Amino acid sequence: MTESESEILKDRLKKMESWQTQGVDPYGARFLPKTSIAELVQNYEEGRKIIIAGRIMAKRVHGKSAFADLRDETGKIQLYTKLDDLGQAGFDQFLNLDVGDIIGVEGGLFKSRTGELTIRIEKFILLSKILQVLPEKWHGLKDVETRYRRRYVDLIVNEEVRKCFKLRSEIIRSIRNFLDNAGCMEVETPMMQPIPGGARAKPFKTFHEALNAELYLRVAPELYLKRLLVGGFEKVYEINRNFRNEGLSVRHNPEFTMLELYQSYADLRDMMDITEELISGLVSKIHGTEEIPYGEKTLNFKRPWKRLSFYDALKEKTGVDWRNADIRGEANKLKLPLEEPCEEADILDALFDKYLEPELTSPTFVVDYPLVISPLAKRKKEDPAVADRFELFIAHMELVNAFSELNDPVEQRKRFDEQKKMIGEHKTIDEDFLMALEYGMPPAGGLGIGIDRLVMLLTNQHSIRDVVLFPQLRPEKES
């Protein structure tokens, strides 16, 4: 804390004590607003009596009169008062307010000479005294870490940030409406699981003392949602958190929000249709057009979207037939940087990241994935060497992963055994899931959509931290 900040804090503590001396609780009691600022703007009525609450964002004093800007969740409005309206004691109290104080106001609505919507204060009450100082300008690039660590301040002073998170809420609500109207049922599956399954990812570990058991925060809800298909529910979805004990980046947060959807009697083609309809509908609803800006690019969501075959596209870029190649040897020839230990699946992922992902700007379905990196997907009937799977890429980001679900318990056990050989003995096979498949799971299509990345695209944000209210951060350095 600087010397000037320290002095301001002392001054505001004195003001707080002054309010208390006058018999005013600076952290006041219940005060329910009767309206919002947005509603006042929409339904203006001269002289209308108003009861409203909000935070003072600016204050201007002109002799025996004063103005202030009041903001609530929905907008901003001007306040006006003068000595004759409040009396000397009340006017002095109003002058004693600081920018950032939260107050309740009663008064009449009118328009100023310049046409600005204004409330003439008849009575006000202090509801919460600010002790800190709001920044006059909140420079996002300069103070980026502070913005994320003190999101509450970011939200107070940055209107664009508030709009972004309101839009996130609207997007999730629209997704739920879309799925509910399609006859899907929203469910909840365990966050703590005895076996982390459904994705190749490093889990977070925890320990349940009462059970004397090691548990894992889930990396994906997939295997539990499929159990529900076995049980007879035909269309289920979940919008909730996944946790992966991996690195931080502009596209990765260890705790992230996913939509996972499973539909009995469907397959990959149905998941493609749902994906296109859902996302293009969101784009049109939010932007009113099929083309939207993303950074310096323009993304075109006109249907149908492009399809790209994994092996064919990789062969075109590298000149190597990766289906039949010595994968490690060819990767070494290309000087592909690899982290050991490294398996075939890791090499194929690295090849895709280097040669294909940078090319994928407008919506593109990458299809025909290698079976080795798709242990939960059916084989493609026309080409059994690949999985009946797609991933959707937009603006060089993977947004959706989907496939025709493998429901053959014998084949699934074989895939799990092969995966365990590749990953190592620490990989635990979910025997209960295999047993569930033995009771019969209908053919099904499934998909997962990264909600955080989808919000990034729809709000033109380029870091996942700008669409997650409280992103995970590295420990703050001591000053």
DSSP 263-315: EET--HHHHHHHHHHHHHHHHHHHHSSSEEEETTEEEE-PSSPEEEEHHHHHH
Residue type, 429: I
Interval 184-209 mean pLDDT: 94
- pLDDT score at 139: 46
Position 475 confidence tier, pLDDT thresholds 50, 70, 90:
confident
Cis status, amide bond into 442, omega within 30 of 0: no
Tokens 């000053």: give the residue: 479
Q: Which residue has the higher pLDDT, 475 or 218?
A: 218
Q: Which residue has the higher pLDDT, 419 or 355?
A: 355
111 with 118: CB under 8 angstroms? yes
Position 426 confidence tier, pLDDT thresholds 50, 70, 90:
low
97 with 79: CB under 8 angstroms? no
- pLDDT score at 363: 98
Read off the pLDDT of residues 256-299 as tens digits, 9 standing for 90 and up.
Answer: 999 999 999 999 999 999 999 999 999 999 999 999 999 999 99
| Domains located in the chain, CATH noted | 3-128 (2.40.50.140), 152-305+362-466 (3.30.930.10)
- pLDDT score at 142: 52
Q: Smallest Cα–Cα separation from 125: which of 39, 37, 65, 52?
A: 52
% of residues, the chain, pLDDT over 70: 97
Question: Is a pLDDT exceeding 50 seen at residue 152?
Answer: yes
Position 28 confidence tier, pLDDT thresholds 50, 70, 90:
confident
Whole-number Å distance between alpha carbons of 418 and 259: 28
Whole-number Å distance between alpha carbons of 307 and 276: 12
How many other C-beta atoms are found inside a 10 Å radius of the C-beta of residue 141? Answer: 6
- pLDDT score at 476: 80
Interval 22-26 mean pLDDT: 94
180 with 205: CB under 8 angstroms? no
What average pLDDT does the structure give for the chain? 94
Question: Is a pLDDT exceeding 50 seen at residue 254?
Answer: yes
Whole-number Å distance between alpha carbons of 14 and 30: 24
Question: Is a pLDDT exceeding 80 seen at residue 5?
Answer: no
Position 424 confidence tier, pLDDT thresholds 50, 70, 90:
low
Read off the pLDDT of residues 96-139 as tens digits, 9 standing for 90 and up.
Answer: 999 999 999 999 999 999 999 999 999 999 999 999 988 875 44
Q: Which residues, including other chains, have CB under 8 Å from residue 129's CB and lie 6 or more apart?
A: 12, 15, 16, 19, 26, 27, 98, 101
- pLDDT score at 140: 38
Interval 403-415 mean pLDDT: 97
Whole-number Å distance between alpha carbons of 389 and 367: 6
Whole-number Å distance between alpha carbons of 195 and 433: 10
Read off the pLDDT of residues 321-333 as tens digits, 9 standing for 90 and up.
Answer: 999 999 999 999 9
- pLDDT score at 141: 33
- pLDDT score at 146: 85
Question: Is a pLDDT exceeding 90 seen at residue 83?
Answer: yes
DSSP summary character for residue 161: H
Whole-number Å distance between alpha carbons of 259 and 238: 6
- pLDDT score at 216: 96
Read off the pLDDT of residues 358-367 as tens digits, 9 standing for 90 and up.
Answer: 999 999 999 9
Q: To which H or E segment does residue 439 belong? A: none
Q: Smallest Cα–Cα separation from 152: which of 142, 138, 167?
A: 138
Read off the pLDDT of residues 367-382 as tens digits, 9 standing for 90 and up.
Answer: 999 999 999 999 999 9
Question: Is a pLDDT exceeding 80 seen at residue 412?
Answer: yes
The pTM of the full predicted model, rounded to 2 decimals, is 0.94
Question: Is a pLDDT exceeding 50 seen at residue 344?
Answer: yes
